[in-house]
Chain A
Amino acid sequence: MSGQTPQFGDLSIGKAAADEFVRLPRYPALFEIRAARMKTLAAANPAAGFLGLMVRVFSAQADASLLAGEVVPPSAEAIARAREHAMPPIATDSWVPTATYRAALRFIAANISRDGLPQATIDVLAGLGEAPDEHLDNLARAHLESAIPPHWQGEAIFAVAALQVEFARIASLLPKEAIKPLDAPGLCPCCGSPPVAGVVVADHAFGRRFLSCGLCSTSWHYVRVACITCGTEKDVAYQEIEGGDGVAKCESCDDCRTYSKIFYQQKNMAVEALCDDLATLSLDLMVNNAGWKRHAPNPFVPVI
């Protein structure tokens, strides 16, 4: 025996993923986090102007989230009833426009800095400031029913911003243990809305995919390597821009011909589903050109 210890290279056996189904939104911190992330991403993006507007929207959401006013979370009884029927406890179709929503929308419209914005945006913001309650309510309904008329598409994204504040606030008050998967596991278990994208996390649930709701910002677990639209595991592939850093990919399904985005936190801890989705619209363009349709739109870029 020479007494030498044999040397081996690193061999990763991985980390055990915690069994967690839902992550409720971190209200109101999430809007600050988004504003900061969007600011980082916007600078080098081809759509820097539009993403710059998004930074202002997220900052305004952060301020609007501190406004006074009560929201009413569903009663324990209502949550139990929703759970019994595998329905979302704060379903969008039973939502009635509230004073807090209108206040948030008016606040956002008034407090976005006009400096350097296109005249069209400034006009839309001015119009929103003067609009009656009824119009604001109609904008919210149009978004929640995915039926935004073309001439409302500018205003609608600010209504979305106010709705996000409202729904994230209610969702953050829900009892986590009462939230269970819906019969349609690709929809938000809190409000029933479609996700903007999925994130493969690198924290205590290492390697698991969490979808992120485009409305209430709840994240929920969805098994990896399975189409979030039709559930098949067979014809799923990952599309990314050649030579890319592997952070953003599109999970495409050859069965139902849809795709959804997936971000790998292991490659970049800072990824945030909504911001990174908006910052990778070029990937959407390429994958759409290749013949797949997006599973559901990003609420800030509703229809092309």
Chain B
Amino acid sequence: MELDRRSFLKAGGGAALASSMAVLGFGEDQKALAQAVRPFKLARTTETRNTCPYCSVSCGILMYSLGDKSKNAKQEVIHIEGDPDHPVNRGTLCPKGAGLLDFVHSKTRTKYPLHRKPGSDKWERVSWDFALDRITKLMKEDRDKNFVATNPEGVTVNRWLTTGMLAASATTNETAFMTWKTVRSLGMVVFDNQARV
């Protein structure tokens, strides 16, 4: 259906046989429709399918946002609800998930790495490079100091008990595989890959 205003006006203006409306003698209605929309603009919103970040149930969510990706405009999430098509939660959310919008807009939300130096009482913003280097260094120090290669009976155990890891939900099989391989190959035993947090 080619329904732009120009052809609509043209049809209403007398060009015969343009549409069922014109053919049946309702050309004036076509003109009125075209006139009616003149003062208005279109508003664009998006609905985006995503996964709730809280726990391993991984409920589907729909996030409603304002703004146009293509026009560099500011995007803002305005509403979040359960995805009615998702087989796990069928449109529902638990109270944590139902509060996700506040989580998105929270003033205390962590958006970049922060560092509190030993003895300091305040957090300072640092680069990802700094954060990752620092974590790696500390992990290595701790592992070198506390790694247990064999138990008192002399049996090889290769365990590292002084550092643990918490990974999040909503990971793919591939991410979970990589996480498992990385963490276990270091000898880490204290390891939870779910967000019971």
Contacts and interface: CB of A to CB of B under 8 A. Distances in A.
B3 A281 contact: yes
Interface string B46-58: 1111000000000
Question: Could you say which interface size class chain A belongs to?
Answer: 35 or more
A244 B43 contact: yes
Nearest to A297: B1
B19 A304 contact: yes
A256 to B, nearest CB: 15
Contacts of B85: 17, 208, 223-224
A74 interface: no
Contacts of A46: 29, 32-33, 35-36
Contacts, number: 180
Given A237-B46, A240-B43, A285-B37, A300 B98 contact: no
B87 to A, nearest CB: 8
A53 B99 contact: no
Interface residues of B, number: 54
B36 A282 contact: yes
Interface stretch (B89-97, B136-144, B162-170, B189-197): B89-97
Interface string B139-170: 00000000000000000000000000000000
Contacts of A11: 95, 98-99
Given A153-B19, A297-B1, A304-B1, A47 B92 contact: no
A284 B1 contact: yes
A77 B137 CA distance: 72
B48 A304 contact: no
A53 B91 contact: no
B73 interface: no
Given A14-B93, A46-B36, A304-B18, A237 B24 contact: no
Contacts of A91: none
Given A154-B20, A157-B20, A282-B36, 15 more contacts: A14-B98, A15-B92, A16-B91, A46-B32, A46-B33, A50-B24, A53-B24, A120-B23, A151-B23, A224-B62, A225-B62, A240-B42, A242-B41, A282-B37, A298-B1
A49 B21 CA distance: 10
Interface in A102-151: 117-121, 124, 150-151
A300 B20 contact: yes
Interface stretch (B4-12, B112-120, B180-188): B4-12
A7 interface: no
A173 B7 CA distance: 42
